[in-house]
Structure 1
């Protein structure tokens, strides 16, 4: 009798373990996906053409298709730079939106009329090239945030950071540092007004993570980073052995929002 009871309990334990494992495997992942479209342009005229197309045609088409608020930014000093850029941040409802967005110029009736941009002559292009990066939000910030900023919009600074790692293991450690390690919580406590944090799951430089913070102006940005660098919590976190040497390349791009940017 005792033996039968033990067998029954063992069987019940196995069933419970299997159920727990199944729930963990099928638990819904509530993390958002994002696309960052980068337009590379060669002149201020092309900058204007891209931004007018986004403002008047493409973003309204995205909204008609059910996409929420978007962000449009250009690097500070873009007007004098050789490599001019326009960044478009798009929050996705699912990865299926990528295909929908790609086909939007053929499926949206109003967008088809944007001939000045879409049907430019081969020797008078409206941009040099476009690139796309697809990101999956971090667990500790599973969706994007509308920043709470004050003052003149033209003075606002958005900081886009890209952290590349030498190996996949080191990359995972850096992602862990942001989440379980508490780096996102530290940014939040210091009011960095993050727009998003995300793992790059498709892009030209991987393994890679990206995030964007925002500030009222350049002085505000510098003051925030000064406080961050001096914070006791950061001083401890940055020397934790498992997080050392996790970033092999850090690209920091300071951006201004376009007048019509929604984020």
Structure 2
């Protein structure tokens, strides 16, 4: 009897051990998306120097990888200019831990001195927003883009969809997940980096997702394919999915040379 019991336990341990990696791989990630707003070329220089030589090296040392840094293409003409920093985090508590580690990192402080020690009369940016995102259940992990073009040619499309109520927002998220909107994007090779629900941010309730392309012409061709796709036409025409988006923000961005992807 004892030998039989031990055998059963060993079988269960083997099953759990074998299954654990699959569960871990499918677990929904959290993301942190930081938006730096600035107005001058001098601020842009300070921000890029800080991100390239201070923040990213410090995060890499902590074990974080696949950190994306993007510049809005609208910066050339916009009064309010933007730089985005995207990274995965294992938990919301980790945000606090990162800040505490940065406080104790002498190399980080030395490399980022201009940004860190900016005075109020000469700020490094005009505003900083941090959004906490949770990956969709049907797209639980970020995906590195499969692009061949140089970074200077690539187009990343960052979209935010706001809804009129939390209930309506849940319907739009369901449209992406159970409805199969993410599946359509995957089938047409839209190179989706991530899909996410905004857990905390300044525009809620909303979702944020990012797709990417070799260049602008490639982007336009993919969206033409998407908009004319029979499955998308059927999905978007369903009565239960009508009027579930109240406002859309679209920003075309390009990765910086020092961005991880």
If the TM-score is normalised by the length of the shorter chain, which range does it land in?
A: 0.7 to 0.9
Larger Rg: 1
Matching residue of 1:36: 33
Residue 86 to residue 104, structure 1, CA distance change in 2 (3 Å): farther
Moved over 6 A (4+): none
The yes-or-no answer on 1:99 pairing with 2:105 is: no
In 1, Cα distance between the equivalents of 2:48 and 2:42? 10
Shift of 1:104: 4.0
In 2, Cα distance between the equivalents of 1:157 and 1:112? 32
Matching residue of 1:65: 62
The yes-or-no answer on 1:190 pairing with 2:155 is: no
Shift of 1:107: 2.1
Contact in 2 for aligned 1:47/1:85 (Cα 8 Å): no
The yes-or-no answer on 1:78 pairing with 2:58 is: no
1:131-157 Cα offsets, whole Å, 9 max, x none, are 100000001111101000112220100
Structure 2: gaps of 5 or more residues: 1-22
Q: 2:214 aligns with which of 201, 216, 219?
A: 216
Contact in 2 for aligned 1:199/1:208 (Cα 8 Å): yes
In 2, Cα distance between the equivalents of 1:168 and 1:245? 13
Matching residue of 1:5: none
In 1, Cα distance between the equivalents of 2:179 and 2:52? 39
In 1, Cα distance between the equivalents of 2:123 and 2:102? 17
Matching residue of 1:232: 230
Contact in 2 for aligned 1:44/1:79 (Cα 8 Å): no
Shift of 1:109: 2.1
1:15-60 Cα offsets, whole Å, 9 max, x none, are xxxxxxxxxxxx9881000000010111122112111110100011
In 1, Cα distance between the equivalents of 2:153 and 2:41? 20
Aligned residues: 237
Shift of 1:90: 1.2
Please give the secondary structure, in 2, of the residue aligned with 1:251: strand
Please give the secondary structure, in 2, of the residue aligned with 1:132: strand
Structure 1: gaps of 5 or more residues: 1-26
In 1, Cα distance between the equivalents of 2:139 and 2:74? 30
Shift of 1:122: 2.1
The yes-or-no answer on 1:254 pairing with 2:255 is: no
Matching residue of 2:46: 49
Matching residue of 2:126: 128
In 1, Cα distance between the equivalents of 2:149 and 2:60? 27
